[in-house]
Amino acid sequence: MRATLTNDVETAARDLADHGYCLLECPISPGAFERLRGRLLDVAEQEREDGSAFLYDGGNQRVFSLLNKGEEFEENVRDPSVMRLMEELLGVGFLLSSTHANIAGPGGAPMHLHADQTFARPPWPPYALVANSMWMLDDFTAENGATRLVPGSHLLGRQPDYERGEGNTATVPVCAPAGSVMVFDGRLWHQTGANTTGRPRHGILNYYCRGYVRQQQNFFTGLKEEVAARAEPGLRRLLGYENYFSLGMTDGLP
Ligand SMILES: O=C(O)CCC(=O)C(=O)O
């Protein structure tokens, strides 16, 4: 019932269908990985120092709107291996929904068990409306707050029912070396683990949605003008600047 750490996208796609998640070996060069990690750690530290950091749950930190905070992130949201898997899950014309980092800090509490498509009222369709990717910037271990999940729960097609105690369903930690990427179905039950070590666990969550689902982040109002201006066609499409069939048009027919 566990996904295999692989560099084969076909194997990953099968794991996604069967278990609701898959694990890719680091798809970028060691240099690109170090630049990505270094930039995220710098931004996170700067936000703690200038008082703008979003701190929560007794030790955790979120760093939002990464596209405004470094060119490294512009490359990262359109990684080709992740794009292939997202297209598999969400179909052509899928969008970037948001990009942010979650840092599970020492002493940080676990997150409640949930599936990411919280915005969708039941009944859910028998496919994912959204999907997420977790770029592990440190080794993820059971002790340092690795994401925990319920393998196969995407097939239940609903949120955990807290009134029936499903918030306490047994979960497994997804442990993998730094650089690995976990892609997971928006219906999969998961949570951040508790970090009982003395060192933070850094992860970037690039979150995507079908072309007709509203994005979590409003890039048209929130993205810095210079980022939008330099975005190449692939990134512009992900941000929602292109129409999806007859949706998203500027002035009548495309
Ligand atoms: O940080 C993690 O391990 C998971 C975060 C998560 O579940 C979420 O942001 O919805």
What are the backbone angles phi and psi of residue 55, rounded to the nearest 5°? Answer: -110, 140
For residue 203, give the ligand 1 atom closest to its CA.
1
pLDDT tens string, the chain, 254 residues long: the values are 689 999 999 999 999 999 999 999 999 999 999 999 999 999 999 999 999 999 999 999 999 999 999 999 999 999 999 999 999 999 999 999 999 999 999 999 999 999 999 999 999 999 999 999 999 999 999 999 999 999 999 999 999 999 999 999 999 999 999 999 999 999 999 999 999 999 999 999 999 999 999 999 999 999 999 999 999 999 999 999 999 999 999 988 76
Task: Give the distance (Å) from ligand 1 centre to CA of residue 102.
Answer: 7
Interatomic CA distance for residues 57 and 91, integer angstroms: 35
Task: Give the distance (Å) from ligand 1 centre to CA of residue 243.
Answer: 30
Task: Give the distance (Å) from ligand 1 centre to CA of residue 245.
Answer: 32
Do 59 and 196 touch, CB atoms closer than 8 A?
Answer: no
Ligand 1, pocket-test mutation among 172, 174, 185, 191, most atoms within 8 A of CB: 191
Work out the angle at residue 206's Cα, subtended by the Cα atoms of residues 157 and 91, and round it to the nearest 5 degrees.
Answer: 55
Nearest CA to ligand 1 atom 5: 192
Q: What is the pTM of this model?
A: 0.98
The set of protein residues with a Cβ atom below 6 angstroms from ligand 1 is 102, 111, 116, 147, 190-192, 203, 205
CATH of domain 5-239: 2.60.120.620
What are the backbone angles phi and psi of residue 185, rounded to the nearest 5°? Answer: -65, 140
Interatomic CA distance for residues 227 and 253, integer angstroms: 27
- Angle, nearest 10°, between helix axes 80-90 and 9-19? 40
Do 22 and 98 touch, CB atoms closer than 8 A?
Answer: no
